[in-house]
A and B are shown apart, each in its own frame.
Chain A
């Protein structure tokens, strides 16, 4: 299982602090950085930006939509996946563990292509699916992208939730039982809220990781911001400038996510914090 530290080693989870930011050497460094930015803006080609700005904005929208929908659905799936691994009957436990192992043990790109090319080529052979109301959606690319990203998020977050459910102190659950709560009431009032509370700090890192995974859907023709930039590079034959802008866009999106999560974490009461 990935620990908290590992997740924050591969996904940005905190921003530099404002205090003690200005030091003499930083002013020199920032001068050099400003010179670098100026020469990038001045000497490289940016005349294509206005022409593509509309498509870039809608691409960012698709990326954010992908991120939000897959994280939310994935988290809702992760709760039962984590729960059955702690308390479920053994067939469900084995199933959930197998699911997590397989999804976490293979590359997301392969899963995505398996769903899109594999299932996508299988579905048209069944008349029942072709005549169903789902068929107009199954002919598009985005349902496969959403499915692959959701499954991946559910598997990674399911492991986190397993640890969170197992880590709720037994005394709290016993106290709830002593109060005569039914199993469901106990789960709803004590176990789930405490587990979610414990899992929240990793949620930040997992969401940034999910953002970093979204550009893969461009390989199955979903037009997210990465796909728009690839299109710009094909049409204008400019190699670096679109990629630099793309990196900047992802940097800003990550920063917004980190700031947002920090705001929400500050809203959650914790003792001694």
Chain B
């Protein structure tokens, strides 16, 4: 058996081929793109969903309840498979009905869509809790000033609920970055899948999986630093949490 020093071939991580470092970084870039896109889409869906759940009509409330219940009870992996196949299928049928022929859905768009739909349900729940923490008197005062619902949302509800929402939303961001790994199962070449391909090609499994782990960990730690800064900015003027 060789000694440990020569067992690790660091050259495999070189950025230029035959090293796989560049491939890993490209995978990380794909993961970040999907996480950012999916998280953003999720925030949009979540804001709409939270408003619908709090102020919508009875039918809207029930339909949103079904949406959040299903997403919170079924594994992300299963949801991603269903949304991935159903999403591309529906898109193809729409385009066929319009006479455009089959469309080639990019993996990036499909990934952002599935992560976004899953994140949308999570952030619906987080934002709903945060909006409920805004004192009702403030919203009533805004209404008494004659603000339209859009103005109330933009001027009062969103700024006042943000400090309550940030801890939950920052957790959802971390979950989004880690959920991108699940897209490896549908064959999108994000960080986890390219790591597996690199490891399979070179048989240096431990080296590559540890390298990818370090990349994910760095993403998380950098996010944590930014989250602390954002939290400090939006909590200014508020009492420290007990």
The 3 closest A-B pairs by CB, nearest first: A107-B181, A9-B125, A105-B220
Mark out the residues of chain B between 74 and 99 whose CB falls within 8 Å of any chain A CB in the assembled complex.
74-79, 81-82, 85-86, 89
The answer on a CB contact under 8 Å between A250 and B217 is no
Q: Does B188 contact A (CB under 8 A)?
A: no
Least Cβ distance of A225 to chain B in Å?
Answer: 10
The answer on a CB contact under 8 Å between A212 and B74 is yes
Mark out the residues of chain B between 93 and 138 whose CB falls within 8 Å of any chain A CB in the assembled complex.
122-123, 125-126, 129
The answer on a CB contact under 8 Å between B78 and A12 is no
The answer on a CB contact under 8 Å between A211 and B75 is yes
Mark out the residues of chain A between 85 and 104 whose CB falls within 8 Å of any chain B CB in the assembled complex.
101-102, 104
Q: Is the interface of B mostly helix, strand, loop or mixed?
A: helix
List, in ascending order, chain B residues with CB within 8 A of A208's CB: 72-73
Q: Does A221 contact B (CB under 8 A)?
A: no
Chain A residues with CB under 8 Å of chain B are 2-3, 5-6, 8-12, 16, 23, 25-26, 29, 101-102, 104-111, 113-114, 117-122, 125, 208, 211-216, 219, 226, 239-240, 243-244, 246-247, 250-251, 254-255
Given contacts A106-B217, A117-B199, are A250 and B75 in contact (CB under 8 A)? yes
Mark out the residues of chain B between 168 and 189 whose CB falls within 8 Å of any chain A CB in the assembled complex.
168, 171-172, 174-175, 178-182, 184-185
Q: How far is the CA of A120 from the CA of B209 in the complex (A)?
A: 13
A-B contact count (CB 8 A): 146
Q: How far is the CA of A208 from the CA of B174 in the complex (A)?
A: 19
Least Cβ distance of B148 to chain A in Å?
Answer: 27
Could you list some 15 contacts between A and B, CB below 8 A?
A6-B168, A12-B69, A12-B72, A25-B59, A109-B192, A110-B181, A110-B195, A110-B213, A114-B205, A118-B199, A121-B205, A215-B77, A239-B89, A243-B82, A250-B73
Interface residues on B, range: 35 or more
Given contacts A110-B213, A113-B196, are A254 and B73 in contact (CB under 8 A)? yes
